[in-house]
Structure 1
Amino acid sequence: MGRVTTREKVLRIREGVASERVDTLVVEEPLEIRLDGTPLSITMRTPGSDFDLAAGFLVSEGVAARERDVTAIRYCAGATEDGSNTYNVLDVSLAPDVPRPDTSLERNFYTSSSCGLCGKASLDAVRTQARWPVAGDGLRIGLDTLTALPDRLREAQRVFDRTGGLHAAGLFTPQGELLVLREDVGRHNAVDKLVGWALRSDRLPLRDTVLMVSGRASFELVQKAWMAGIPMMAAVSAPSSLAVDLAEEAGITLVGFLRGTSMNVYAGRHRVLLEKALTAPSAAPEVPRPPGR
């Protein structure tokens, strides 16, 4: 297995004083995912939970949905001139009855924030791929439980404590119990690792769970939540407009800026129990400022 962290010499400058020290950095390396020997995708990731990452990626792409859909995952040896294993190439074997995606053409995955597809095309793509409805579930979560999730996520981030350079995705019960956490230099990889764990544990769909992510809530993260059957997602930072559109389309509860006792509920507010909250008057609309001021 590859290293998760590495040590590098750095020049540290504090208040004009320079000194040399050794810093711990998070490792970022490419992972090639092959499907029955055929190259499918390459992603930059932090080594660790690579089998979960590959399995979760296949769920996000609509290829796999059940544990038995994936029959084997293995590292490919001989990836270097001397034949040693870099642990950066995975080959995934699918069950015979699982339809194979078209890998003959260059693929522009709609999960990429820079894929260039318009909003409507992206929404349509996810709608046709999603396997499980989430709008009609009975999940509800109280404010006290919801506001405690960021701290619980942060407390479980072991590698972040040493590097400060990793994103995290955690799966929680409605009572705030952490089921699983995954870290990665890419937040989308962290979510794929989490979903892949669920696939390999035969836990899909992930009904009655809450996905908590560090950073912002992008379109692709909401897409991955929908593909895994997750009805609620919370983030410590802002969502994008397309992420909100997709959450509303799917019936997913989307919470952003979850910090301390504050949050913004952008979609699916019916799942957030407001028994302790006071409803304040709506803020007056902002008046546009004249140009030049």
Structure 2
Amino acid sequence: MIPRKSTARAIIQKVSDGKAMRARDLVAVEEPLEIRLGYLLKNKRMEQSISITMRTPGEDFQLAAGFLCSEGIIQSPAQILQMSYCVGLEKEKQEYNIVSVQLIDEIEFDPALLQRNFYTTSSCGVCGKASLEALQVQGCPVFPRAKPLFASEIFYQLPEKIRASQSGFEKTGGLHAAALFDPAGNLITLHEDVGRHNAVDKLIGEQFLASKLPLNKYLMMVSGRASFEIVQKALMASIPVVAAVGAPSSLAIELARKFGMTLIGFLREKSFNLYSEPDRIAMSGGKAGD
């Protein structure tokens, strides 16, 4: 298999003090990835395209597994018979932009589940209430009553730990990151992608394929903002704490509160905002809200 590059060179015009100069730049690669799902239906193998996402090449199998897990389509790596690239296509570039995930025959898969899931989680104007109800139908876990799990001091260190590990961002300035930390603030794993949601899928997929779910003793940090989609994916992996450099959306806050997740935004080296379940964070200067 020919390795796919995550960066590409570009000739640009660099402007400074009103003067333009020809220069070379390194940019993040963005290419489509199609995920196809194969399954047994009425004693016949079926395959259909279930998603197309714009992603940075690399860790495509983890991305596909994380996507299927976060959508509630699969619950165990043992349900995957095979994952492979679709080869033999006309253009070489396409061969590594299509991933086929074949499920084992024993799974009674309902194709209608795909339509229900993607209708309610798409950005086509479906109301927040419908999205929240869909998660309840999928059996999204509600976290038990919050108790101290993480010390507030460790959060101040996370932004720098992520920056130090973002090799792709260091080269291009164009990649988001999703990172998993233990209660001591140790970095467990980090994934980068042009799409924040793809970085999360890669992280969850890696842990899923290694049979390490649920991730109920860890926290996840993402670059940028915390959207509904990010919180939803974390919930499906049982991650109790999500922290973001930027702001959370209103629906992300509502979702976190409904399912008992601790949501943190505007994480800086000396401060952060708590939007839900503050009791999961042990404050050095007193309880949250004091």
Deviation per residue, 1:170-216 (Å, 9 max, x gap):
01101111111110000000000111011100011111000100000
Q: How does 1:1-293 map to 2 (within 5 A)?
A: 1-36=3-38, 37-81=47-91, 86-102=95-111, 108-112=118-122, 114-136=123-145, 140-277=149-286
Name the SS for the 1:8 alignment partner: strand
Structure 1 residues without counterparts, runs of 5 or longer: 282-293
| Mapped contact 1:78–1:85 kept (Cα < 8 A) | no
| Mapped contact 2:141–2:259 kept (Cα < 8 A) | no
Higher helix share: 2
Question: Aligned letter for 1:250?
Answer: F
Q: Deviation of residue 80 (structure 1)?
A: 2.2
**Residues 3 and 275 of structure 1: CA distance in aligned 2, closer, same or farther (over 3 Å):** same
Question: Aligned letter for 1:18?
Answer: A
**Residues 76 and 204 of structure 1: CA distance in aligned 2, closer, same or farther (over 3 Å):** same
Name the SS for the 2:23 alignment partner: strand
In 1, Cα distance between the equivalents of 2:110 and 2:10? Answer: 41
Name the SS for the 1:203 alignment partner: coil
Q: Deviation of residue 136 (structure 1)?
A: 4.3
Deviation per residue, 1:1-29 (Å, 9 max, x gap):
32100001001111111110110010000
Name the SS for the 1:258 alignment partner: coil
**Residues 251 and 229 of structure 1: CA distance in aligned 2, closer, same or farther (over 3 Å):** same
Name the SS for the 2:272 alignment partner: strand
In 1, Cα distance between the equivalents of 2:265 and 2:107? Answer: 36
Structure 2 residues without counterparts, runs of 5 or longer: 39-46
| Mapped contact 1:63–1:98 kept (Cα < 8 A) | no
Q: Deviation of residue 279 (structure 1)?
A: 7.1
**Residues 201 and 273 of structure 1: CA distance in aligned 2, closer, same or farther (over 3 Å):** same
Question: Aligned letter for 2:137?
Answer: T
TM-score by length of 2: 0.90
In 2, Cα distance between the equivalents of 1:104 and 1:140? Answer: 35
Name the SS for the 1:122 alignment partner: helix
In 2, Cα distance between the equivalents of 1:120 and 1:22? Answer: 48
Identity of aligned residues (%): 46
| Mapped contact 2:148–2:282 kept (Cα < 8 A) | no
Question: Aligned letter for 1:52?
Answer: Q
TM-score by length of 1: 0.89
Name the SS for the 1:181 alignment partner: strand
In 1, Cα distance between the equivalents of 2:134 and 2:289? Answer: 38
In 1, Cα distance between the equivalents of 2:48 and 2:142? Answer: 32
**Residues 77 and 135 of structure 1: CA distance in aligned 2, closer, same or farther (over 3 Å):** same
Deviation per residue, 1:32-60 (Å, 9 max, x gap):
00001321111110001100000000011
Deviation per residue, 1:99-146 (Å, 9 max, x gap):
42426986744333x231111101101122134442347561111111
**Residues 226 and 105 of structure 1: CA distance in aligned 2, closer, same or farther (over 3 Å):** closer
In 1, Cα distance between the equivalents of 2:255 and 2:265? Answer: 14
Q: Deviation of residue 220 (structure 1)?
A: 0.5
Name the SS for the 2:204 alignment partner: helix
| Mapped contact 2:278–2:288 kept (Cα < 8 A) | no
| Mapped contact 1:2–1:86 kept (Cα < 8 A) | no
Q: Deviation of residue 280 (structure 1)?
A: 8.0
Name the SS for the 2:95 alignment partner: coil
**Residues 261 and 6 of structure 1: CA distance in aligned 2, closer, same or farther (over 3 Å):** same
In 1, Cα distance between the equivalents of 2:235 and 2:65? Answer: 16
Question: Aligned letter for 1:127?
Answer: Q
